[in-house]
């Protein structure tokens, strides 16, 4: 049932957001050329690796210049990229990851393979028992202000307690945060 809802919602979201997707792609291209999309290797369900899509928000070849994570004032982030990140528009191409089956709308955010060392083997294995999501409990409750320990605790809580109702609540809270109604 979750997969059917993911597909239905994503196809509707892609249809409704297509003008925004096109506008964002044009803005990235005008400011810094191609590629417009950034592909990054992430770890998903059952420890499987996949290419996650985002709008490119950093200068070309940024991964070769700095670490896999960014700071707020990271000089690699472009002007358009700052706006796309602040509004979370940079995440919209992940709707294609959901359609492909790599991700779900809701689940723990997918990590890069290098982040495995931050977990115990048991926590990593448990985290990989559910499909990663565009949004998750940590994003809904704390947005990007979660510490790694808070994020892990909320990700594991989701793994243990996930349900359709919980997913709907997370989507509602996430939309509320994005619209500014739930704070940041």
Reading the block at residue 11, the tokens are 């196809």
User: Would residue 56 count as lying in a domain?
Assistant: yes
For the chain, how many helices (H) and strands (E)? 8, 4
Determine the Cα–Cα distance for residues 25 and 17; give it in Å rounded to an integer: 12
| pLDDT at residue 184, rounded to an integer | 45
Asked whether residue 162 is domain-assigned, the answer is yes
Q: What is the pLDDT along the chain (184 residues), one digit of tens a residue?
A: 899 999 999 999 999 999 999 999 999 999 999 999 999 999 999 999 999 999 999 887 776 676 556 666 778 889 999 999 888 899 999 999 999 999 999 999 999 999 999 899 999 999 999 999 999 999 899 877 888 889 999 999 999 999 999 999 999 998 887 776 554 4
Residue 184 lies in a domain: no
- Which is nearest to 94 in space by CA: 150, 178, 156, 14? 14
Q: Would you state the pLDDT for residue 69? A: 61
121 in any annotated domain: yes
- Number of structural domains (the chain) is 1
| Residue 53 within any structural domain of the chain | yes
Q: pTM, whole model, 2 decimals?
A: 0.87
- Domain with 23 in it: 2-179
Inside any domain, residue 96: yes
Report yes or no on 72 lying in a domain: yes
Is 165 within a domain?
yes
Cβ atoms within 10 Å, residue 109 = 20
Check residue 143 and give its pLDDT: 78
């Amino acid at each position: 049932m979750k997969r059917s809802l993911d597909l239905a919602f994503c196809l509707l979201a892609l249809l409704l957001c297509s003008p925004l997707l096109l506008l964002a792609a044009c803005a990235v291209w005008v400011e810094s050329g191609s590629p417009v999309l950034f592909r990054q290797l992430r770890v998903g369900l059952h420890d499987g690796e996949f290419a996650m899509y985002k709008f490119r928000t950093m200068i070309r070849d940024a991964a070769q210049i700095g670490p896999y994570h960014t700071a707020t004032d990271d000089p690699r982030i472009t002007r358009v990229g700052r706006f796309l990140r602040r509004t979370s528009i940079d995440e919209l191409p992940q709707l294609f990851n959901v359609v492909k089956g790599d991700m779900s709308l809701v689940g723990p955010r997918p990590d890069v393979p290098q982040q495995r060392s931050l977990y115990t083997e048991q926590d990593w294995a448990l985290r990989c028992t559910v499909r990663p999501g565009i949004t998750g409990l940590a994003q809904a409750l704390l947005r990007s202000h979660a510490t790694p320990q808070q994020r892990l605790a909320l990700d594991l809580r989701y793994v243990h307690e996930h349900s359709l109702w919980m997913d709907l609540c997370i989507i509602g809270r996430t939309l509320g945060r994005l619209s500014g109604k739930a704070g940041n």
